[in-house]
Amino acid sequence: MSELTFEQMLEESFKTIHSGEVVEGTVIDVKPDEIILNIGYKSDGILTRNEYTNESNLDLTTVAKVGDKMEVKVIKVNDSEGQVLLSYKRLAAEKGNKRIEDAFNNQEILKAKVTQVLDGGVCVVVDEVRIFIPASLVSDTYEKDLSKYEGQEIEFVVTEYNPRKRRYIGNRRMLLSAEREKAQKELFDKIKVGDVIEGKVKNVTDFGAFIDLGGADGLLHISEMSWGRVESPKKAFKVGDTVKAFIKDIAGGKIALSCKFEDENPWKDAESRFAVGNVVTGKIARMTEFGAFVELGGGVDALLHVSQISKDHIEKPSDVLKVGEEVTAKIVDFNLDDKKISLSIKALIEPEPAAEEKAEEDADVVAVDIEKAIAEGVEEE
């Protein structure tokens, strides 16, 4: 047998590799745009930035150093320069596909950072696999602006897996819904009518505010926000405010709240404070064509009818009064059941008898005088 030449022995000392094969290499040089690896072959392996990551501006010197071990996939054994071209991201994607497949089959909860926010949803990456979560599946409530999720780690499950079309769909909403249902059950198991609770304002509408109670929302209707008059819920509350209220009613899955605590009820001693004949002072809160509403304090408003403002004829209240003005008047009517109080400024002014009343009074005086005269005449006889 002939002896092998040095070149032949050296050739045989190197292993053979094929395209598609997975090999382990040692980093022998790192540049910003490529990594050189010794893979035990006669030529070194070249791992370019494009085959390492999908990040176009990544500096490879920040992720690898000489001496590091790397597992890569051979994509071409000999290029035009006799080098071996390698890929890290393709191998990672294959492993990621298997990872996503297992998660899909087992309905495993995954956690990943949002890498991109699009008009129709958000994208996350798990083991180099890009998963899309549609806007409708990002949250259990409608969210027009998804930008707050940029860079945020979120949990989700894979609900669609199609590697042939590279279609991977995630769902976060079902996890939030399940958590909410659990929290809702726990909440309804422990609350009852009359309980005082605290929550945060979740949404404000023209008719009330929805308060997040930690498992369910309670409605604080505009009529239950205060003992006084609330013109607009949006002026009284804003999203994020902490609200203390009590549970007024529970009907099915709906919770009605109230801030009208009984110990703060301004009407509880109103019969004595606002008895007919009492003179009170208050500020004009608002006006209508027929009268002015006077705030007497503590959320109690009283009506000063236009006919009771002055002994002179007044066309409309705004002709002589203005909002915020302080007035003193007499209470002429009080209705606790309807919570209505009527005021009169005119009643504080000494009334002048009308012509008819004066005539009647004069007639009565004459009649008395006549009767008196007749009586005196009888006695003289």
pLDDT at position 148 over 50 = yes
Q: Does 379 fall in a domain?
A: no
pLDDT at position 286 over 80 = yes
Identify the pLDDT of residue 7.
52
Which residue, of 236, 262, 288, is where some domain finishes? 262
Give the least confident one: 13-22, 309-318, 346-355. 346-355
Query: Is 230 in the same domain as 277?
Result: no
Q: Label residue 356 by pLDDT band (50, 70, 90).
A: very low
Per-residue pLDDT, averaged over 288-311, amounts to: 89
Which residue, of 262, 297, 316, is where some domain finishes? 262
Q: Which tens digits make up the pLDDT trace of 214-269?
A: 889 999 999 999 887 788 999 989 999 999 999 999 998 899 999 999 888 888 88
Query: Is 230 in the same domain as 284?
Result: no
Higher pLDDT, 43 or 279: 279
The number of folded domains in the chain is 4
Q: Does 355 fall in a domain?
A: no
Q: Compute CA distances 134 → 9, 113, 141, 160, 259, whole Å.
A: 59, 15, 13, 12, 39
pLDDT at position 307 over 80 = yes
Q: Does 293 fall in a domain?
A: yes
Per-residue pLDDT, averaged over 126-145, amounts to: 90
Identify the pLDDT of residue 350.
61
pLDDT at position 135 over 60 = yes
Query: Is 165 in the same domain as 211?
Result: no
Identify the pLDDT of residue 341.
92
Query: Is 235 in the same domain as 288?
Result: no
Q: Does 254 fall in a domain?
A: yes
Which pTM was predicted? 0.55
Per-residue pLDDT, averaged over 299-315, amounts to: 89
Domain with 37 in it: what CATH number?
2.40.50.140
Q: Widest CA span of the chain, in angstroms?
A: 186
Q: Which residue range is the domain that position 342 belongs to? A: 270-348
Beta strands 300-305; 291-297: pairing state:
antiparallel
Dist CA 373 CA 367 (whole Å): 10
Per-residue pLDDT, averaged over 85-108, amounts to: 91
pLDDT at position 360 over 80 = no
Q: Which tens digits make up the pLDDT trace of 149-163?
A: 999 999 999 999 998
